[in-house]
A and B are shown apart, each in its own frame.
Chain A
Amino acid sequence: MSTLDLNIPISENSIRALHVGDAVRLSGVMVTGRDAAHKYMVETFIRSSSVPASERPLYAELRRLLRGGVIYHCGPVVRFTPLQPSPQGGGEEGGRWHFVAAGPTTSIREEIYEPEVIAHFGLRGVVGKGGMGPGTLQACREHGAVYFHAIGGAASLIADAVKEVVAVHKKDEFGVPEAFWVIRVAGFPAVVTMDMHGQSIHDEVEAVSAVALKRLIGQR
């Protein structure tokens, strides 16, 4: 099986060329976002009539990063290394973050938000595990996006592909796992399991297992 290299931001044509089962390596800047981040984006930016002034800088930054970009359902383990020596005693300015463990979290919890996030920000890809539902599949079709499946639990392996933590937003408010981490990745391994042509490996596997279940427990 050959592996395709994709650079973020990704063009719609590159997305159109992808089909379920394709193995990819992603490189460029992506943003982590999970439960609190999705709720926040939808409530603060998408469904609200006006974005509060305090949230506008982050809104502008996310629009810039996510246009043609990729959101990663991930709550990492991070480590902070202070710069040495640190005469000021160091705050978070005086050091850098890095990802110690960074596998995907279960994506289906974001199903109620993801179609709106894809449409609003112009996402080309969602990275997670376990697959998503019909709303996201439809949004992928309409807006030219795919779902990339990363290996759940392969946290140390994936952390190796995270080359730099560029920035972090909402860390204090949402906590480390739920913050928006802006990361530069190189050769991030994933497989396309939902494409923009309406195909979903998750739907196929569920259908196969439903037949097997019926055979195993039969009918009363």
Chain B
Amino acid sequence: MRAGLDDLTEHFIELVRRASTDLQADVEAALRAAQAREEPGSAAAGALEAILQNVALARANSTPICQDTGTPIFYVSHPLGASTRRLRAQMEAAVAEATRRAYLRPNAVDPLTGRNSGDNVGAGFPTFHFCEWGEDRLRVDLLLKGGGSENVGAQYKLPHAPLGAGRDLEGVRRVVLDAVYQAQGKGCPPGVLGIAVGGDRGSGTAHAKEQLFRPLDDVNPVEALAALEERLLRECNELGIGPMGLGGKATVLAVKVGAYHRLPACYFVSIATMCWACRRASMEVQDGEVAFT
């Protein structure tokens, strides 16, 4: 990083503000398309209409789209030589200040005492993933992941006899449909499913969450996964759970699947469920310039 950009705290606050208050265009477009498909006058259409009004209002007022501003999850790709310790301190300071400015709700609760830290900073909170990459710029991707959708996430190990799910993509299909059925309306559908096939319990979960950063209309470069994504999107929406679980056609906006190598003994399917308010924002820093997307 160049001189003058040693302290990125103010830019990180802006990243948080954007993620919390300004829904990305691809998500909003998918919600609009979903609303057009529901029966006019139905509870599903009404729920999506309220959601779209809320998105516009939050953007206009710069207020949180959802009061559960979730866990801030930072994925940081940095060039050789960056100090991740300093970046982390700046991001923590930014999260605390964004909480003071009411872009974030204080969400970090000590599980032993029940005390809320008050500023979204605590043990293991927020979540950070640092990765050095071959580029000479810094990239930070932020996801705000609420508790309702996090609670309905799942991890299956295959084979799974009750669902007749074996160790192949057909087995993956079965457990994902089961997870969406189990979730019903509790995770604020219609949202995005991030899925990782393989990995261990930890890496699989992190990789599933990474899928949530993909643009909703991208196509998986792996043909078998692209086909699975398309089929799961269609079939999840045949479940009829609908917006907010009130019944209807839109239960899922997109399905994104990644794959990690697994141990011979293990076959995990990790499912990160994201609510309709798929709040993500990214920034890049290069040659003294900061750009947000």
Contacts and interface: CB of A to CB of B under 8 A. Distances in A.
A176 interface: yes
Nearest to A204: B247
B74 to A, nearest CB: 20
A23 B50 CA distance: 13
Given A102-B67, A153-B66, A205 B240 contact: yes
A212 B239 contact: yes
A103 B68 CA distance: 8
A117 interface: no
Taking residues whose C-beta sits less than 8 angstroms from the other chain, chain B's interface range is: 35 or more
Contact of A157 (B57, B173, B186): B57
A218 B165 CA distance: 11
Nearest to B244: A152
B246 A209 contact: no
A202 B185 contact: yes
Nearest to B183: A130
Interface stretch (A48-56, A63-71, A73-81, A140-148): A73-81
B177 interface: yes
Contacts of A154: 50-51, 53-54
A204 B240 CA distance: 11
A36 B116 CA distance: 12
Contacts of B151: 106
A27 interface: no
A197 interface: no
Interface stretch (B83-91, B104-112, B197-205): B104-112
A131 B63 CA distance: 26
B241 A75 contact: no
Given A75-B67, A157-B57, A152 B148 contact: yes
Given A78-B102, A212-B240, A219 B164 contact: yes
A150 to B, nearest CB: 9
A213 B239 CA distance: 6
Given A77-B105, A130-B148, A153-B276, A101 B66 contact: yes
Contact of B106 (A130, A153, A176, A220): A176
Contact of B50 (A106, A108, A157): A157
A151 B116 CA distance: 26
A193 B105 CA distance: 28
Nearest to B175: A217
Contact of B61 (A106, A149, A156, A208): A156
Contacts of A15: none
A156 B114 contact: no
- The B interface is mostly helix, strand or loop, or mixed, namely loop
A201 interface: yes
Contact of A209 (B174, B188, B239): B239
Nearest to B243: A151
Nearest to A205: B247
A93 interface: no
Given A154-B51, A157-B57, A213 B245 contact: no
Interface in A69-114: 74-79, 100-103, 105-106, 108
B72 interface: no
Contacts of B54: 151, 153-158
B148 A105 contact: yes
Given A36-B114, A205-B247, A209-B181, A106 B186 contact: yes
A167 B54 CA distance: 26
Given A75-B68, A106-B151, A156-B54, A130 B247 contact: no
B64 to A, nearest CB: 4
Contacts of A105: 68, 147-148
B47 interface: yes
Given A206-B184, A209-B241, A156 B58 contact: yes
A138 B68 CA distance: 29
B102 A77 contact: yes
A167 B46 CA distance: 32
A198 interface: no
13 contacts: A100-B63, A101-B64, A101-B69, A131-B245, A149-B246, A151-B51, A153-B65, A155-B54, A156-B64, A175-B106, A175-B115, A176-B118, A191-B246
Interface of A: 1, 21, 23, 36, 74-79, 100-103, 105-106, 108, 129-131, 149, 151-160, 174-178, 189, 191, 193, 201-202, 204-206, 208-210, 212-213, 216-220
